[in-house]
Amino acid sequence: MREPAARPRSSHAVSRRLPWLLACAFMLAGCGLQPASQFIPEVSAGPELEKYPGFDGAEITVSSKDFTEQLVLGKMTSLVLSAAGAQVTDKTNIKGSVNARLSMLDGEVDVMWEYTGTAWIVYMGHPDPIADPAEQFQAVADEDLAQNQIVWTRPAPLNNSYAIAVKQATADKYGLVNISDITELPVAERTFCLEAEFINRNDGFVGMKQTYGFTDADIPPGNVQSMDTGLIYNRIGGSCTFGEVFDTDGRIPANGLVTLTDDKHFFPIYQPALTVRQEIYQRSPQIGEIFADLAARLTTDVMRGLNAQVDVDGRDPVYVAEDWLMEQGFLAS
């Protein structure tokens, strides 16, 4: 997700990549470096941003992955840096985590928001997540800096992890609070709408069943439907009782859903933080302070609301980001 000047990488850094990550490198030209929209409104710094040193025309390439939350976060980053005096190239909307990561490692882009769980499990190849959020963040940050010269700024408190959602009315009827409570329902009503990949992933449905001790008698295979992620939200409470969602998705409250607490702490933690190539960070260290301040305000509920403005209300991510930054005082209104 970055652009100018590829930097040399050590052979050790390259060896840290997963084999399939390297296998995807050839796809970069056709899978991502064309943003859906490079438009960034002309903005000026608000009082919260004026507290920090400016960027004095520093050239910074900003990007994101290609889903709503990433687009909103990416546009926030472009707007803040532009208002603070940087010359920003917007390369948001790279398709897929693999392509986004490779473009960061190759120095084609300079900053992007990344998730702790994704980096630890997918990029760094660790099979087991760390349950404590602070420890997980520190482990990711230390390894990425040492191996790839990528700096992680302070993470947001939100957690965009997998979650199991149910209609509020169903939760109230059966007293459903935790994932463990699923067995409170009659077997015939323990039905699930899940995305195909999630069904077979060890950090998805397979692992969840094992962790919670759910057998095929508890959740018969015939009770599980496979479908595209976008269809799941409208099917919960209809063709299925439960569905796989992402915890910060704005369609959760919009569809009258609630998420069950992961009481056995199975799902990995996915806290986002702005990641920055070390070369850029050393040149403009204030980027760490600015985005630590911004990230601290991004709770799960806040992010759900921002995502809903895009996915439910149909607003452009750049204007959702701009309005929120004005409300928070980072941009002048």
- Assess whether 141 and 241 both reside in one domain: no
Considering the domain boundaries, does residue 110 fall inside one?
yes
> Judging by beta carbons within 10 Å of its beta carbon (0-12, 13-18, 19+), is residue 236 exposed, middle or buried?
buried
- Assess whether 121 and 23 both reside in one domain: yes
pLDDT score recorded for residue 37: 65
- Assess whether 182 and 241 both reside in one domain: yes
**How many helices (DSSP H) and strands (DSSP E) are in the chain?**
16, 10
pLDDT score recorded for residue 197: 84
- Assess whether 48 and 21 both reside in one domain: yes
pLDDT score recorded for residue 122: 87
Considering the domain boundaries, does residue 294 fall inside one?
yes
Tokens of 257: 């859903």
Which helix (H) or strand (E) is 271 found in, with range? Answer: none
Q: State the residue range of the domain holding 41.
A: 11-158+272-328
Q: Which amino acid is at 328?
A: Q
pLDDT score recorded for residue 6: 28
- Assess whether 154 and 169 both reside in one domain: no
What sign results for the dihedral spanned by CA atoms 165, 169, 175, 177?
Answer: positive
Distance from C-alpha of 13 to C-alpha of 187, rounded to nearest angstrom:
49
Considering the domain boundaries, does residue 173 fall inside one?
yes
- Assess whether 149 and 167 both reside in one domain: no
Write out residues in the chain with pLDDT < 50, as ranges.
Answer: 1-36
pLDDT score recorded for residue 229: 85
Evaluate whether 145 touches 279 at the Cβ level (below 8 Å): no
- Assess whether 139 and 64 both reside in one domain: yes
